[in-house]
Structure 1
Amino acid sequence: MEELTIGNTKIPAIGLGTWHMGDNAATRSQEIKAIQAGIDAGARVIDTAEMYGAGRSEALVGEAISNLNRDDLFIIDKVLPTNASKSRLENSLDKSLKLVGTDYFDLYLYHWRGAVPLSETVETLQAMQQKGKIKRWGVSNFDLPDMQELLDLPGGDQVAANEDLYNIGSRGVEYQLLPWQREKRIPFIAYTPVGAGDEQGRLTTNPTVKEIAAAHQASAWQIILAWAIRDGNTLAIPQSGDPKHAIDNVKAANITLSADELAKIDKTFPKPTKKEPLDVR
C-alpha cells in the first residue's frame, strides 16, 4: 500500500474526506458506516474542518470514531480564516476538539488565507502545538507565493503539509508548486482528487481511464486516485458516504500505474505548460 510521511508519522496515502458529510439526518448512519468501513479497510487519515456543515462534519467524525482506538487514527482539522487570530484560534480549536471527541489533532490546517497576518496565525499555531492540542500544523489553499512567504516567517519552516485541489482534470499545481514542495520535503494533500459534479463524471467515463481500469480490474475512481498519489509525497482524501465506495477508495492505494499508463494519462489530460491560477472550490 502506497504510504507517505507527515511529521514523523507514516500513513497510507489515501484517507477519508468528509466535506458535505453530516448535513443530512437521513444519511447520517450510512455516512458513519462509510467512515468506519474505510478505517477497517486500512485508512488512518480522516480529514474534516470547522467549516464543513458548521461543525456537523466534525460531530459526525466524532460519532464514527467514538469506539475506535484514537492512537490508530490520524485526524486532520482546519480553522477558518476569521478564527485564525491570536484571540480566536484556541477557542475555535477547542470547539473542534470537543466535537470530534479528542484531546488533540494530528494535523491542524489554516483553511485559507484571510485578513489575519500570516505571522500571527503561525505564531498561534506554534503555541497550540506547544500546548499539545495539535501534533503538527499546516496550511490549505496556498499557492507557491504563499508558501514562499510562509517559509520566510519565524517558525514557518515547521509547516507539515499544504492541502490543495488536485486531480487528473486539474493539474495546475504541477507546474511550480508540487516540484517546489517535493524539493522542500513538504507533503501535499489533494482534496477533490476524483473531481466533483460534472467534472467527476467526465473523468470517470474517460475512455483512457476506463481502459487502464479494466487492465487492473479496478474502477475508474481507483485509477484516478492511484494516479493522484503516484509521487509518494501526496495524500488523497476522497469523500464518500457509501461504505463499499469508501473501501474501494482506500484499496486504490494498492494500485501502481506503469510508465506507459502514466504516459497515456498525460496525453489525455496534459500537464500544465504555464502557470495557472490555483484551483479553489
Structure 2
Amino acid sequence: MQTVTIAGSEVPAIGLGTWNMGDEPSLQTQEINAIHAGLAAGAKVIDTAEMYGSGRAETLVGKAIKDVPRDQLYLISKVLPTNASKNRMERSLDASLKRLGVDEVDLYLYHWRGQIPLSETVAELQRLTTIGKTKAWGISNFDVTDLEELWQLPDGPKAAANEDLFNLGSRGVEYSLLGWQADHHLPFIAYSPVGAPGQLDTHLGSDPDVLKVAKRHQATAYQILLAWVVSHQQVLAIPQSSNPDLAKENVLAGDIQLTADDRRVLDKAYPAPTEKLPLDVL
C-alpha cells in the first residue's frame, strides 16, 4: 500500500473522509461500521472538521474510535475561518477534541481563507501545536498564490499539508500547485477524489474508459479513480463512504499500481491541464 509522510508521520495514502456523515441518526451504526471497515482494511487517517454537520461528524468519529488505540489513528480536523482568530481558535479546537474524545489531533487545518489576517491565524495554529493540542497544522483550499503568501510569514513554512479538491475530472492543481508543493516538501491531501457532485456534469464512476481500466485490474471504477489520485507523489486521498463494503474497497485501492497504458487511457479521456485554472472548491 502506498504511503504519504506528513510532519514525520507515515500514513497509508488512502484515508477516510467524513463529510455528510453523522447527520442522520438512523445511519449512525452503519456509518460507524464503515469507519471500522476502513480502519480494518488498513486506513489510519480520518479527516473531519467542525463545519461538517456543525460538529456531528466529529461526534460520530469520536464514537467510532472510542475503543481504537490512539497510535493506530491519524486524526485531521479543521477550523472555520470565522473561528481562526487568536481569541476563538483554541475554544474551537477544544470543542473538536471533546467531540472526538482525544487530547490532541494529529493535523489541524485552516479550512479556507476568511477575513482574519493570515498572520494571526498562522501564529495561533503554531501556538496550539507548541502547547501540544495539535501535532501539526496545515491549510485547506489554498492555491499557489496563497501558499506563496503563507511562506513569507515566520511560521508559514511549518505548514504540514494543504488539502484541496483533486480527482481525474478536476486536474487543475496538476498545472502548478502540485509541483509547488513538491518543491516545498508540502504534502497534498485530495478531497472529493472520486468526483464532486455535479462536477462537469460527468459521472467518473460510470465512464467507459475508467471502467476499461478497472476491468484490467479486476477492480471497481472508484478504486481506479483513487489509485490514479494517489499515484501522484505525496498525495493522500480521503474518500467518504457510509457503506462498510465500499469503505473497505476504497482503502484497498491503495494496492493498485496503474500501468503506463492505463494512464494513457485516462489522460486521453480526461486530459491534464495546459494552463493555470481557477482552484476548484466545494
Q: Shorter chain as normaliser: what TM range?
A: over 0.9
Equivalent residue for 1:9?
A: 9
**Letter paired with 1:206:** D
Equivalent residue for 2:125?
A: 125
Equivalent residue for 1:164?
A: 164
1:52 aligns with 2:63: no
**Letter paired with 1:242:** N
Deviation of 1:198 after TM superposition, in Å, equals: 4.3
Provide the rounded CA distance (Å) in 2 between the counterparts of 1:50 and 1:149: 25
- SS class of match (1:134): coil
Provide the rounded CA distance (Å) in 2 between the counterparts of 1:177 and 1:232: 12
- SS class of match (2:26): coil
Provide the rounded CA distance (Å) in 2 between the counterparts of 1:227 and 1:115: 35
Provide the rounded CA distance (Å) in 2 between the counterparts of 1:158 and 1:197: 33
**Letter paired with 1:10:** E
Equivalent residue for 2:24?
A: 24
Provide the rounded CA distance (Å) in 2 between the counterparts of 1:110 and 1:225: 25
**Where has structure 1 moved over 6 Å in runs of 4 or more?**
none
**Letter paired with 1:31:** E
Provide the rounded CA distance (Å) in 2 between the counterparts of 1:216 and 1:127: 47
**Letter paired with 1:106:** D
Cα contact 1:106–1:135 (8 A) shared by 2: yes
- SS class of match (2:275): coil
Cα contact 1:3–1:232 (8 A) shared by 2: no
Equivalent residue for 1:206?
A: 207
Provide the rounded CA distance (Å) in 1 between the counterparts of 2:246 and 2:202: 15
Cα contact 1:79–1:93 (8 A) shared by 2: yes
Equivalences for residues 13-162 of structure 1 within 5 A: 13-162=13-162
Deviation of 1:183 after TM superposition, in Å, equals: 1.0
Equivalent residue for 1:233?
A: 234
Provide the rounded CA distance (Å) in 2 between the counterparts of 1:63 and 1:247: 19
Provide the rounded CA distance (Å) in 2 between the counterparts of 1:227 and 1:192: 13
Give percent identity, aligned residues only: 57
Q: What TM-score do you get using the length of structure 1 for normalisation?
A: 0.99
Provide the rounded CA distance (Å) in 2 between the counterparts of 1:202 and 1:65: 32
Q: What TM-score do you get using the length of structure 2 for normalisation?
A: 0.98
**Letter paired with 2:15:** G
Equivalent residue for 1:197?
A: 197
- SS class of match (1:135): coil
**Letter paired with 1:183:** D
1:224 aligns with 2:225: yes
Provide the rounded CA distance (Å) in 1 between the counterparts of 2:142 and 2:275: 18
Cα contact 1:78–1:111 (8 A) shared by 2: yes
**Letter paired with 1:218:** A
Deviation of 1:231 after TM superposition, in Å, equals: 1.8
- Give CA deviations for 1:133-182 in whole Å, capped at 9, x if unaligned: 00000000000000000011011000000000000000011111011101
Provide the rounded CA distance (Å) in 1 between the counterparts of 2:190 and 2:173: 10
**Letter paired with 2:121:** T
Provide the rounded CA distance (Å) in 2 between the counterparts of 1:231 and 1:254: 14
**Letter paired with 1:109:** L
Deviation of 1:201 after TM superposition, in Å, equals: 6.2
Provide the rounded CA distance (Å) in 1 between the counterparts of 2:233 and 2:123: 30
Provide the rounded CA distance (Å) in 2 between the counterparts of 1:202 and 1:32: 27
Aligned residues: 281
State which drifts further: 88-97 or 198-207.
Answer: 198-207
Structure 1 unaligned spans of 5+: none
Equivalent residue for 1:251?
A: 252
Provide the rounded CA distance (Å) in 2 between the counterparts of 1:41 and 1:251: 7
- SS class of match (1:11): strand
